[in-house]
Amino acid sequence: MEKEVFNLDEKLQAMKSDPSAKEKLDKEKAMLEEDIRKFHALIDGFKCNIMELEKGLERMEKELEMKNSKNQKIIEENMELKKFLES
């Protein structure tokens, strides 16, 4: 009987010293929530980078459009000069 009481007492002490299932789940939940916050921060950073890149792309597209327009004007002027010289 004493042996059984001793074994039960050991089990009780082990159960008291180990975190409960709820505590384990709460700890895991807290870790996952922290991961979610980190992922949201990363996503926000990527969104900012994408916006900056899109602005840069728009600027470059406008510059390209202006250069193409200038190039077209030069081509037209060259054609007019060529016609003038041929006549």
pTM of the model: 0.58
Distance, CA of 22 to CA of 29 (rounded, Å): 10
Query: Measuring CA to CA, how many Å separate 38 from each of 12, 27, 34, 35?
Result: 39, 17, 6, 5
Tokens standing for 31? 């870790």
Residue 19 backbone phi and psi in degrees, to 5: -70, 150
Q: pLDDT class for 78, splitting at 50, 70, 90?
A: very high
For residues 61 and 53, the answer to whether their CB atoms sit within 8 Å is no
Distance, CA of 65 to CA of 41 (rounded, Å): 36
Give the pLDDT confidence of 1-50 residue by residue, as tens digits: 877 877 888 877 877 777 788 888 999 999 999 999 999 999 999 999 99
